[in-house]
Amino acid sequence: MDQRPATLSRRGFLTAAMGAAAVPLLAGCSSPVSAGLFGTRLSPETLVYWNLFGGGDGTRMEAMEDGYRKIYGANSLQATTFAWGNPYYTKVTLATVGNRPPDVAVAHLTRAKPLWDGGLLEAITEADLAAVGLSTSDFNPRPWQAQITDGKNIAVPLDTHPLVMFFNTDVCKKAGLLDGSGNLVPLDDMDTFEAALAAISKVTGGPAMTIANVGGETATPWRVFWTFYNQHKGASPFLSDNGSRLTVDEDIFMDVNDRLQKWVKQGWVNKALDYATAESYLFTGKAGLYLEGEWEITTAQSVKGFEFGIVPLPTLYDTPASQADSHTFILPRKNRTDEQRLQAMKFIKAMLDQSMTWAKGGHVPAYLPVAESAEYKALEPQSRYASAAEHAVYDDAAWYGGSGSTFEGIVGAQLGLIQQLASTPKQALSAIKTQLRVYLNTPSPL
Partner 1 sequence: MTTTTLTVPRSGRSRLTAHPRAIRDTRSAWLFIAPFGIFYLAFLLGPTIYMFIMSFFNTSTVRTGLGSFAGFANYAEMLTRADFWSSLWHTLQFTIYTTPPLVIIAFVFAVLTNRMRHAQWFYRLAFFLPFILPSATISLIWVFIFTPSTGLWALAQEALGMTPGSGVLSSPNTAMIGIAIATLWWTLGFNYVLYLAGLQEIPRELYEAAAVDGATPWQQIWSVTVPMLSRTTTLVLLLQIIASLKIFDQVYLMTGGGPGISTQVSLQLITGTAFTDNRVGAASAASVLLFIVIIVIAVIRQVADRAAARKEF
Partner 2 sequence: MTTVTARRRTASPVSSAAPSRRPHRPVDSRTFNIVAAIVLVVFAIIWLIPSLFALKTSLTDNGVAATGASEILKNWNLTLYSYSTLLGQNDIWNWYTASAITSVITAALTVLFASMAAFALSRLRFRGSNLVLLLIILGIMIPTQVLIVPIFQLLNWMNLLNTYWSVIFPQVPAVIAVFIFKQFFDGIPRELEEAARIDGASQWRIYWSVIMPLSRPVIAAVTILTFVGVWNNLLLPLFVLSNPDLMTIPVGLATVQGSFGQRYADIQAGAILAALPLVILYLIFQRQIVEGVTGSGLKG
- Binding at 29: pick from partner 1, partner 2, none (beta carbon under 5-8 Å per type): partner 2
Which of partner 2, partner 1, none sits in contact with 68, Cβ below 5 to 8 A by type? none
DSSP for 148-196?
Answer: EETTEE--EE-EEEEEEEEEEHHHHHHTT-B-TTSPBPP--SHHHHHHH
Taking the complex as a whole, the smallest distance from the CB of residue 86 to partner 1 amounts, in Å, to 5
Instruction: Count other C-beta atoms under 10 Å from residue 305's C-beta.
Output: 6
Closest to partner 1 by CB, 156 vs 214, is 214
How far CA 330 is from CA of 58, 109, 124, 391, in Å, comes to 18, 9, 8, 24
CB nearer to partner 1: pick between 100 and 259: 100
The partner in contact with residue 400, picked from partner 1, partner 2, none with C-beta cut-offs of 5 to 8 angstroms by kind, is: partner 1
Q: Do strands 159-168 and 364-365 pair parallel, antiparallel, or not at all (unpaired)?
A: antiparallel
Q: Compute the distance between CA of residue 411 and CA of residue 221 in angstroms, rounded to an integer.
A: 9
Residues ≥6 apart with Cβ < 8 Å to 89: 107, 111, 115, 404, 405
Q: What are residue 161's phi and psi, to 5 degrees? A: -125, 95
Q: Verify binding: residue 236, partner 2, rule CB under 8 A.
A: no
Query: Which of 63, 67, 69, 100: binder of partner 2 (CB under 8 A)?
Result: 100
Q: Give the DSSP H or E segment for 47.
A: strand 47-51
Choose from partner 1, partner 2, none: what does 32 bind? Cβ within 5-8 Å by kind.
Answer: partner 2
Size of the site for partner 1 (CB under 8 A): 29
| Nearest by Cα to 362 from 295, 412, 309 | 295
Site for partner 1 in 76-115 (CB under 8 A): 86, 89-90, 93-94, 97
Binding to partner 2 by residue 299, rule CB under 8 A?
no
In whole angstroms, give the CA distance from residue 189 to residue 173.
Answer: 19
CB closer to partner 2 out of 71 and 94:
94
The partner in contact with residue 12, picked from partner 1, partner 2, none with C-beta cut-offs of 5 to 8 angstroms by kind, is: none
The SS3 call for residue 270 is coil
Strands 152-153 and 245-246: unpaired
Q: Draw the binding track, 396-435, toward partner 1 (x: CB under 8 A; -: no contact).
A: ---xx-----x--x---x--------------------xx
Q: How far is the CB of 368 from partner 1 (least distance, A)?
A: 34
Nearer to partner 1, 192 or 444 (CB): 444
> By CB under 8 A, what part of segment 204-223 binds partner 1?
214-216, 218
Question: Residue 15: is it exposed, middle or buried by C-beta count within 10 angstroms (0-12/13-18/19+)?
Answer: exposed
- Out of 33, 198, 368, 446, point to the residue binding partner 1 (CB under 8 A): 446
When asked if residue 54 is in the footprint of partner 2 (CB under 8 A), the reply is yes
Q: Nearest distance from residue 425's CB to partner 2, in Å? A: 35
Name which of 195 and 272 has its Cβ closer to partner 1. Answer: 272
Contact of 390 with 226, CB cutoff 8 Å: no
How near is the Cβ of 326 to partner 1 at its closest, in Å?
Answer: 22
Q: Give the bridge partners for 166, in sequence order.
A: 290, 310
Q: In whole angstroms, how close is the CB of 82 to partner 1 at the nearest point?
A: 13
Binding-site member from 47, 64, 77, 95 for partner 2 (CB under 8 A):
95
Q: Which of 301, 410, 342, 422 is nearest to 104 (CA)?
A: 342
Minimum CB distance to partner 1 smaller for 54 or for 119: 119
What distance in Å separates the CA atoms of residue 135 and residue 131, rounded to the nearest whole number? 10
CB of 410 to partner 1, least distance (A): 9
Pick 305 or 445: Cβ nearer partner 1:
445
Residue of 89, 391, 407 lying closest to 242 (CA atoms): 407
Subset of 30-49 contacting partner 2 (CB under 8 A): 31-33, 35-39, 42, 48
